[in-house]
């Protein structure tokens, strides 16, 4: 047992993850699972992967927990200075470009895939994907993390423009639940953040309340112990 124990105990904290952000008719909704792993060991089953950058901009983080946390901290500091100097809130585009610059300039050292999304008076709700390597893409929806590879077909089929808030939230929660069902590195609960002209709303969906899919066992009494 010694070699196996040493392996996962020395592994970096990784958010083998499912993250997703989508534009809807009044703003954006960001969503993420909550499982953080150290090798094959679940280090945290209830982590929060949606981090606030400003009052109106949030970031979804996947990859190395340490890398994405330090990028978020730097960008939050830069945006605070930007707001003080200009006397107004930074735009979503400004926040996304700062994340992109840090990710691109340090692409050889970082393991970080991120999504920046929020609302501002110039562009309304907007979503920017910044995958590994530091590319910046403005998209109507963006997904990331190990669970996202299970979702591409579903996202293409189920997404549609100008969804209502309730439709967009159901879309985000169902997408992440699908990824949790198939991806061993995604799990726990689903957290969502809604950002629009009226402010920010956080929601929480417990793991036993998520929809179940093909071949999943319903939570409850173990039939083997009956």
Whole-model pTM over 0.85: yes
* pLDDT for the residue 188: 92
Contact 97, 106 (CB under 8 A): no
Which tops the pLDDT comparison, 36 or 216? 36
Question: How sure is the predictor about 154, in pLDDT bands with cuts at 50, 70 and 90?
Answer: very high
Q: What is the pLDDT of residue 42?
A: 85
Token couple for 210 = 């998520």
Residue 2 scores a pLDDT above 50: no
Residue 9 banded pLDDT, cuts 50, 70, 90: low
Nearest to 114 by CA among 128, 101, 104: 128
Instruction: Calculate the CA 145 to chain-centre distance.
Output: 8
Which stretch of 46-55, 127-136, 211-220 has the lowest confidence by average pLDDT? 211-220
pLDDT over 60 at 5, yes or no: no
**Judging by DSSP bridges, how do beta strands 13-15 and 36-38 pair with one another?**
antiparallel
In whole angstroms, give the CA distance from residue 117 to residue 215: 34
- When pLDDT is cut at 50, 70 and 90, the band that residue 180 belongs to is very high
pLDDT category at 120 given cuts 50, 70, 90 is: very high
CA–CA distance, 197 with 147 (Å, rounded to integer) = 30
Helix (H, G, I), strand (E, B), or coil: what is residue 171?
A: helix
Per-residue confidence (pLDDT) for residue 84, from 0 to 100? 94
pLDDT at residue 160 above 80? yes
How many C-beta neighbours within 10 Å does residue 43 have?
16
pLDDT of residue 225: 62
Query: Is there a catalytic annotation at residue 91?
Result: no
pLDDT, tens digit (0-9, with 9 covering 90-100), for 44-78: 899 999 999 999 999 999 999 999 999 999 999 99
Q: 214 versus 88: which is more confidently predicted? A: 88
CB 195 within 8 A of CB 28: yes
Q: Which of 17, 51, 91, 192 is catalytic?
A: 17
Six-digit token string for 52: 């606030």
């Amino acid at each position: 047992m010694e070699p196996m124990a040493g392996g996962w105990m020395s592994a970096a904290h990784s958010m083998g993850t499912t993250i997703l952000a989508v534009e809807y008719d009044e703003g954006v909704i960001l969503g993420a699972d909550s499982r953080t792993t150290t090798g094959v060991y679940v280090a945290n089953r209830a982590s929060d992967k949606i981090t606030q950058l400003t009052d109106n901009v949030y970031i979804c983080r996947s990859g190395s927990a340490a890398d994405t946390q330090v990028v978020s901290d730097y960008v939050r500091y830069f945006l605070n200075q930007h707001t003080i100097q200009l006397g107004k809130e930074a735009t979503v585009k400004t926040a996304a470009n700062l994340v992109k610059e840090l990710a691109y300039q340090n692409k050889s050292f970082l393991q970080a895939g991120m999504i920046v999304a929020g609302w501002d008076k110039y562009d309304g709700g907007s979503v920017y994907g910044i995958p590994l390597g530091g590319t910046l893409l403005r998209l109507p929806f963006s997904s990331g993390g190990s669970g996202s590879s299970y979702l591409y077909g579903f996202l293409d089929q189920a997404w549609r423009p100008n969804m209502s808030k309730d439709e967009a939230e159901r879309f985000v929660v169902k997408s992440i639940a699908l990824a949790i069902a198939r991806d061993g590195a995604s799990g726990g609960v689903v957290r969502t953040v809604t950002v629009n002209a009226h402010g920010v709303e956080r929601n929480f969906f417990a793991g036993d309340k998520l929809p179940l899919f093909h071949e999943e066992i319903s939570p409850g009494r173990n039939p083997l112990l009956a």
